[in-house]
């Protein structure tokens, strides 16, 4: 009987050693921001598992969306921030994604999104037209 208990306990422990990824939000909404504004936002990644979480890659859906992810393993129960920089040099809607690849058993590939709208600077637009002749 005790041998069966030891075998069962051994199987239980081997199933527990795994990293799990949890993110504080699925989407970051910039709302409406001005052209040339700070395009940085942050996602908090937490390891809710029992082994170190390793983010092997994070890739933006275009060159205008650049993630900077934690390169060191995230210990169980700890968190780290991933910075995403969106290039606000283009006017229009923002609807981009970042794909995170990790060793997490619950989400080896996780996609987060950024959205919002970049508006042109009205004073700059008037400056391009020039003063009215009078």
Residue 54 lies in a domain: yes
Residue 87 lies in a domain: yes
Residue 61 lies in a domain: yes
CATH number at residue 35: 2.60.40.10
Residue (of 59, 39, 55) closest to 47 by Cα position: 55
Residue 11 lies in a domain: no
Place of tokens 């210990």: 75
Q: Is the pLDDT of residue 123 over 70?
A: no
Report pTM: 0.78
Of the given ranges (30-39, 72-81, 113-122), which has the lowest mean pLDDT? 113-122
What is the per-residue pLDDT for 118?
97
Residue 4 lies in a domain: no
In terms of pLDDT, which residue wins out, 128 or 44? 44
Range of the structural domain that residue 77 is part of: 19-116
Residue (of 113, 44, 121) closest to 79 by Cα position: 44
In terms of pLDDT, which residue wins out, 116 or 11? 116
Residue 64 neighbours by CB under 8 Å, 6+ apart: 86, 87, 90, 96
What is the per-residue pLDDT for 85?
98
- How many CB atoms are located within 10 Å of the residue 88 CB? 20
Considering its fold, how many domains does the chain have in total? 1
Q: Is the pLDDT of residue 20 over 70?
A: yes
């Amino acid at each position: 009987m005790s041998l069966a208990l030891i075998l069962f306990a051994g199987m239980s422990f081997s199933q527990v050693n795994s990293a799990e990824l949890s993110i504080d939000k699925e989407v970051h909404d910039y709302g409406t921001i001005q052209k040339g504004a700070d395009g940085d936002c942050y996602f908090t990644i937490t390891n809710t598992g029992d082994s170190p979480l390793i983010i092997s890659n994070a890739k933006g859906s275009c060159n205008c969306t650049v993630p900077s992810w934690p390169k060191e393993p995230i210990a169980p129960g700890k968190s780290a921030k991933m910075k995403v920089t969106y290039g606000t040099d283009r006017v229009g809607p923002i609807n981009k994604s970042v794909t995170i690849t990790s060793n997490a058993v619950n989400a080896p590939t996780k996609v987060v999104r950024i959205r919002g709208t970049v508006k042109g600077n009205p004073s700059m637009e008037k400056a391009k037209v020039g003063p009215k002749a009078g």
